[in-house]
Structure formats: C-alpha cells, structure tokens
C-alpha cells in the first residue's frame, strides 16, 4: 500500500491530539526540571539564576542514600518472593484442568482489581496487630498482595505457549517434577520471568498507597518519603522537592528503559501479528 503524502483531516486531528499531549507532558516535566535547577523562580518565564545546590541538599539532608537502600531492598525482596511463589502457581493454572480453577483465577484477579486503599487499610490494621507493620517486613508483605497475582497473570499465558511435548519428553526420560522445573522449564521461562520481575519492580517502586499505610519512619520507600516532604509544605524549599522528584523519575526511567529491552509494551496482552506489507 502506498502512503498518501497529504494527510486526511482525521489524521491531523489524531496527530494533533498526540502532539498536544506531548506538549503538556513536556511542560509538566520541563517546569519541574527547570525549577529544580533554579535559585528562585517566581513571576518570570525562567528562574533568575541557576544552581545545583538542591541536588546536593537532597542527597545529604534528605538522607537519600538510606531511602534508596530501603527502596531497593523492599523491591528486590518483593520481586524475589512473588516470582518464587507466583511461577509455580501459574504453571499449574496454565497446564492443568481441575475443579475450581476458574474460581481460583478470579481470586488471584481480585487483588489487582480492588483499589489498594480498600484492602490496604484492613491489611495495615492486621499487620499492626501482629507487629509486622512499621518496619520493612510489613512493607514487603503488603506489596506482595498485588505482586503475586500480577506475576501469575503475566506468567500463565507465557507458560501456556511453551510446548507441553517438551515436558512430556523429559518425563519419558525419567525426570521428576522438580527436575522438569529446574532443567527444562526454568531456562525456557527466563524471558517471561525477567519481564514479570521488571514489571513487578516498577510497580513496587511506584506503589504509594500500600507502602504509605504500612511503612514506619525508617522503612519508607522513595515515593512515600517524597510525598511526606511535599505535603509537609514550608519546611523545605519547593525546588528541593522538585530535585528529589527528578531523581525519582530518572531512577524509574532507567528501570523502564531496561524493562523495554525485555518487554514490548504492545505485546503484554496479545502476541502481535506484525503487518507484513
């Protein structure tokens, strides 16, 4: 098919909308970026003078290194546990038919469908009752609630497309279940597991509500710490908050760029049939 050079009005409208969205987005990101490098910025187009003091301040005063360590520890633990727990479950869901399978699937779907606040508040209450909340174990446990189902929902279709004949062949050769897992399935599932882990990582780093409800003063992840600095207005210069937000976003951006090397965002739900013309 030859493309016409002159676009139709519909095309103009669509590309205009996309352009408008990106202009707004650039404005939002740009104004934070500019503000984080500005000394003072009030009623002008650009700040009067530039500085990088806010970044240094964020690093030292805000105890950014400690917060980063907590964030990394929490998200690594969540990824590890949810993969270890979720992958075997998705294997059974992908391969086996048994009574109650649909019900189970629905049960695993629910934590993703419910707003985090609805189960976060009772969960935090329960965790406080048993002494888990207010420290890192509570934050990890709370973040597992949406993460395990998320791993299951992304891994089940992935396992379904691995040819079961390979496993049967291994069994014919005398492999036991765990051997099939370790020697046959695990290597085949590595790309899927990587994709799921990176998505869980991104979700956990960005998860506000559950961490906010269960974290204590020394178990806050970056989002929650940022929220506290921003809502405690007046204590800290706005530029300082901007600088921290920029640090957070750059970190997430690195994560996502890495993620996109493994996952094509358009292939999350269906295998894409690329057009061949």
Partner 1 sequence: MTEKTALRHRLAERGVDRQLLLLLPALLAVLILFVYPFAYGMGLSFQGGLGAYRTFFEDAYQRDTIWTTLQLALPAAFLNVAASVPIAYRMRGRFRGKRLLTTLLVVPITLGTVLTAEGLLNFLGPTGWFNRVLLDAGLVDAPLRLTNNYWGVFFSLVITGFPFAFLLILSYLSGIDPTLERAAATLGAGWWPRFHRITLPLLAPGLATTFCLTFVLAFSVFPSAILVGDPAGTTRVISIAAYHAAYEAYDYSLASAIAVVMGVVELAVVAAVLGVRSLFYTGSTGGKG
Q: How far apart are CA 274 and CA 277, in angstroms?
A: 9
Token pair belonging to 55: 């970044």
- Residues within window 67-86 making contact with partner 1, judged by CB under 8 A: 84-86
159-166: long-range contacts, CB 8 A cutoff, minimum separation 24: 159/90, 159/91, 159/94, 159/95, 159/185, 159/189, 159/192, 160/94, 161/271, 162/188, 162/189, 164/95
Using CB under 8 A, which of 66, 80, 121, 182 touches partner 1?
Answer: 121
- Residues within window 239-258 making contact with partner 1, judged by CB under 8 A: 241-242, 244-246, 248-249, 252-253, 255-257
Binding status of residue 126 toward partner 1 by CB under 8 A:
yes
Using CB under 8 A, which of 68, 76, 94, 104 touches partner 1?
Answer: 104
Q: How far apart are CA 92 and CA 112, in angstroms?
A: 20
Nearer to partner 1, 53 or 206 (CB): 206
Nearer to partner 1, 29 or 69 (CB): 29
Stretch that binds partner 1, among 58-66, 167-175, 190-198, 263-271 (CB under 8 A): 263-271
Using CB under 8 A, which of 103, 113, 165, 172 touches partner 1?
Answer: 113
Start-end of H helices in 130-208: 136-160, 164-172, 177-179, 186-206
Contact status, residue 208 vs residue 224, Cβ threshold 8 Å: yes
Binding status of residue 14 toward partner 1 by CB under 8 A:
yes
- Residues within window 161-220 making contact with partner 1, judged by CB under 8 A: 177, 202, 206, 208-209, 212
């Amino acid at each position: 098919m030859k493309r016409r050079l002159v676009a139709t009005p519909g095309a103009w409208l669509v590309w205009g909308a996309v352009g408008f969205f990106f202009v707004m987005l650039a404005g939002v990101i740009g104004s934070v970026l500019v503000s984080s490098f500005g000394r003072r910025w009030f009623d002008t187009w650009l700040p009067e003078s530039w500085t990088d003091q806010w970044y240094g301040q964020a690093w030292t005063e805000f105890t950014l290194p400690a917060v980063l360590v907590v964030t990394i520890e929490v998200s690594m633990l969540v990824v590890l546990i949810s993969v270890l727990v979720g992958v075997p479950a998705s294997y059974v869901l992908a391969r086996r038919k048994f009574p109650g399978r649909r019900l189970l699937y629905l049960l695993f779907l629910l934590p993703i469908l419910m707003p985090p606040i609805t189960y976060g508040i009772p969960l935090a209450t329960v965790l406080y009752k048993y002494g888990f909340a207010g420290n890192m174990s509570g934050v990890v446990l709370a973040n597992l609630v949406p993460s395990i189902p998320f791993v299951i929902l992304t891994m089940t279709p992935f396992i379904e497309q691995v040819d079961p004949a390979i496993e049967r062949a291994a069994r014919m050769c005398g492999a036991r279940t765990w051997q099939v897992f370790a020697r046959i399935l695990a290597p085949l599932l590595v790309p899927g597991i990587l994709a799921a882990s990176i998505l869980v990582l991104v979700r956990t780093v960005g998860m506000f509500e559950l961490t906010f409800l269960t974290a204590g003063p020394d178990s806050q992840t970056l989002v929650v710490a940022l929220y506290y600095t921003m809502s405690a207005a007046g204590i800290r210069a706005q530029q300082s908050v901007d600088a921290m937000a920029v640090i957070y976003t750059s970190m997430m951006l690195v994560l996502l760029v890495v993620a996109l090397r493994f996952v094509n965002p358009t292939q999350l739900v269906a295998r894409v049939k690329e057009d061949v013309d």
